[in-house]
Amino acid sequence: MAGANGQVVVADQLSRRYGTGAAAVDALVDVSTGFDRDRFTAIMGPSGSGKSTLMHILAGLDRPTTGTVELDGVEITALDDGELTQLRRDKLGFVFQFFNLLPVLTAEENLVLPLSIAGRKPDREWVEQLIRTVGLEERRSHRPAELSGGQQQRVAVARALVSKPAVVFADEPTGNLDSKASEDVLQLLRRAVDEFGQTVVMVTHDPAAAAHADRLITLRDGRIVHDAAPGSADDVIELMKQLD
């Protein structure tokens, strides 16, 4: 089940205020938007624009001060912490800037970890397909310390996809990688959308990364100021210049 018009995530009038009184900071101000299934959306904005706050609220990692989020038909703003933890486990995949792999586990063990935690048996065919897709057939028994940064992030992308979540949230997934490794990871996320019907929402500061998406949402001062197809990396650079 999805929200209106096949949208898998719907945010309605989200605001997030940190602190009180004169010291209060409004990280988000009255943000309403939705995310369609099988689409790749990038979120950009200057530092302090609210992009990470928006992603954390959409993913149930933070709560809005006002407003609601519906994720795959469930209003997550009404859930308690235990219910939120279960929802994140069952419906969400995450890719972070710093990989977050467990050093004592092999690449393959890290990949299937979300299923292990949930007590679910891996679909071997799907796991093998993911390992092939991320190009780690020869590295599956290596531990993270034996992998390059790009290889570690490819494991992290596969881990985010293994449970076939409703949405994958990627927070600066290329922020720690060189340009070649970045391109590999972005192509992976693109394939996840195009071939596996995945929904991806990515926060990035990199115009080249945003150009891989179907849609670019831009924030400034906690508000959405632009929402359209990204165009080329040069188009994104021009847009960001106008916002600074």
In tens, the pLDDT along 228-238 reads 887 778 777 78
> Residue 25 has which token pair?
């900071």
pTM of the full structure: 0.86
For residue 232, what is the enclosing H or E element? none
Report whether 165 contacts 92 (CB < 8 A). yes
In tens, the pLDDT along 133-181 reads 878 888 888 888 888 888 888 888 888 888 888 898 988 888 777 788 7
In tens, the pLDDT along 85-111 reads 888 888 888 888 777 788 888 888 888
> Residue 53 has which token pair?
């706050």
Report whether 91 contacts 114 (CB < 8 A). no
Half-sphere exposure of 142 (CA within 13 A, CB side): 13
CA gap 152, 70 in Å, rounded? 31
Q: What is the pLDDT of residue 244?
A: 65
pLDDT mean over 122-128: 82
Residue 13 vs residue 114, higher pLDDT: 13
Q: Residues 6 or more apart from 22 whose CB is under 8 A from it? A: none
Q: What is the pLDDT of residue 2?
A: 42
Assigned CATH class of 38-46+81-243: alpha beta
Task: Map residue 71 onto helix, strand or coil.
Answer: strand
CA gap 66, 16 in Å, rounded? 7
Q: What is the mean pLDDT of the chain?
A: 84
Going across the sheet that includes 215-220, the strands are 92-95, 167-171, 200-203, 40-44, 215-220, 223-228
DSSP H helical ranges for 92-133: 107-111, 113-118, 124-133
Locus of tokens 């959409």? 58
Q: Is the dihedral of CA 34, 37, 39, 43 positive or negative?
A: positive
Q: Where are the domains positioned within the chain?
A: 38-46+81-243
